[in-house]
Chain A
């Protein structure tokens, strides 16, 4: 009961944020109808997907963006190219940007091939996707979260190191509370006592990374607002980390249960069970990856769809109906954003909880009979 209460308080603490994003999002979206025809698909996926520049707002039709660096290596012996995304983002349709003899442009979001990605146009007119390690909006979002994590937890750690017995400040109290909510609520119930110190750093880091990435994803203005955890590239790394921590540190008992489980001999001599067990080691993190990605992406898409609905209805029945719809939409978006705050915590909780369960299972000792 006490645990449940703690998590509710945790959620409510951030619930006030529900009202800020909706207003800004509404303002953001209201500038859209300048286009002739409202394209819901590119509107939604443009906001939920990755991007080469960080679009902040538009002033008098001019986009205000933070131009992030594009770093690509062309295929077929081409060299490295590094330039500001300003050059490719501001291209008109049909134009390309020439950088050191290579022509680039960003494929439109509704293109068949490489939608929304930087592509190289070869001399013969064929398209080729270069090896792309551009510092995109999501990469920027990752760094924002990482810098926040370091800036938030390291000063507390330094204070503790300096004088562990000093009376903790309010800030330290907050850090302690956050840390021990996760440690006592998620990690300790699932991992053997002797192994907690070994795995807690990973699980705490992953929890706060996901949690703050989720929250920052809901704040729609500049340094935040990147849909970090709703991107498969990010969750695949998180899932791989869990896979790594489960299987690399798994003990002999764990591997014995996979390769030679306690089942009738005909099930494992013809290695049916070992194959199933081996596959299950991969499906578990795979489920983690998809769950986090799908939940966050779905939340963002629903909010964007509710916003897009204003313009779709407005486009179909005129501005009056669009205005009526906006009232409905905003109330639904407030509700959705509040729900997303809950999801932000729940998904961080679930990912960490399942990771610690898998890690804990790989650390179990056989029961002595």
Chain B
């Protein structure tokens, strides 16, 4: 049947039309479409890569910032602790110093008192000695026969010259 035989006229039309369409699309159709899509694909994948890199960099910066923050906080705590210690130390030192000062003052006072006591004692001693010498001198100047009159005299001397005792 002629259905199964190619018709020369139609073959020619088909050949002409198809080759023309093929040439036009091969020159001005497919390469443009494919080229643009490939280009865009490359651009998108590049952009994604760049975005990821930027993200990574940002993550690095964030990490660094957090590290810095943590370090600063640690530093702050350390400094606060140090200043607390210093304060305590200063207070302690001041207390110690004050105690030492007080002790020193007390010791000085005691020393002074002791010294004054010693001086007073020395004065008394000197007085007693002077008095004794004085009395002895007077006794020696006035020779008394009897013992009773001697005593009366001593009494009289003592009355006239009461021993000066400095406080």
Contacts and interface: CB of A to CB of B under 8 A. Distances in A.
Interface string B20-47: 1110111011111111110110010000
A143 B17 contact: yes
Contacts of B28: 154, 157-158
A154 B35 contact: no
B167 interface: no
A133 to B, nearest CB: 4
Contact of B34 (A117, A133, A150, A183): A183
A204 B25 contact: yes
Given A165-B39, A205-B21, A160 B30 contact: no
Contact of A136 (B10, B22, B33, B39): B10
B22 A201 contact: yes
Nearest to B24: A150
B30 A154 contact: no
Interface in B9-24: 9-15, 17-18, 20-22, 24
Contacts, number: 130
A164 interface: yes
Given A133-B12, A135-B13, A154-B28, A241 B18 contact: yes
Given A150-B25, A197-B31, A232-B4, A160 B13 contact: no
A238 B15 CA distance: 8
A334 to B, nearest CB: 26
B7 interface: yes
B2 interface: yes
B3 interface: yes
A71 B12 CA distance: 12
A202 interface: yes
A259 interface: no
A107 B9 CA distance: 17
B2 to A, nearest CB: 6
A114 interface: yes
B8 interface: yes
Nearest to B43: A165
A132 B10 CA distance: 9
A200 B30 contact: yes
A201 B25 contact: yes
A340 interface: no
Contacts of B43: 165
B10 A50 contact: yes
Nearest to B28: A157
B162 interface: no
9 contacts: A71-B9, A116-B2, A136-B10, A153-B30, A154-B25, A157-B29, A164-B35, A201-B25, A237-B15
Interface of A: 45, 49-50, 71, 114-117, 131-136, 138-139, 142-143, 146, 149-150, 153-154, 156-158, 160-161, 164-165, 175-176, 179-180, 183, 197, 200-202, 204-205, 209, 231-234, 236-238, 241, 297
